[in-house]
Amino acid sequence: MTSDPTSFNLHHDPAARRFSLRLDGYDAELVYSLRDGRMVIDHTGVPEEIGGRGVAAALVKAALDHARGQGWRVVPACSYSAAYVRRHPEYADLVDG
């Protein structure tokens, strides 16, 4: 079952450079770093108990939308974020590398 990604209560902690959400008692996260004005998406982690519900997609979308708002380029270094960008050409203009 896929949840509506807009229904997730996402949290962004800029100091920790982390997007996160809690669903059904499980925590999912996207961790990024900033290098030379670029957001490098280093890791996207979703416990299998909440997998297949659009959680990772919601995290990556939130990160990409944030990067766009900040005027940052994006390096999708983790495999999930790279696959997401390939499937969503509307973000191709942000990608570096």
From residue 10, give the alpha-carbon distance in Å to each of 5, 13, 55, 97: 10, 10, 10, 27
Find out whether 54 and 20 touch, Cβ atoms under 8 Å: no
Model confidence pLDDT, tens digit, residues 29-62: 999 999 998 999 999 999 999 999 999 999 999 9
Model confidence pLDDT, tens digit, residues 62-96: 999 999 999 999 999 999 999 999 999 999 999 98
**Residue 84 structural domain:** 5-94
Number of domains in the chain: 1
Q: What is the pTM of this model?
A: 0.91
**Closest alpha carbon to 62 in 20, 92, 15:** 20
Is residue 55 classed exposed, middle or buried when 0-12, 13-18 and 19+ CB atoms within 10 A define those classes?
A: buried
Helices (H), the chain: 55-70, 79-87
CATH number at residue 90: 3.40.630.30
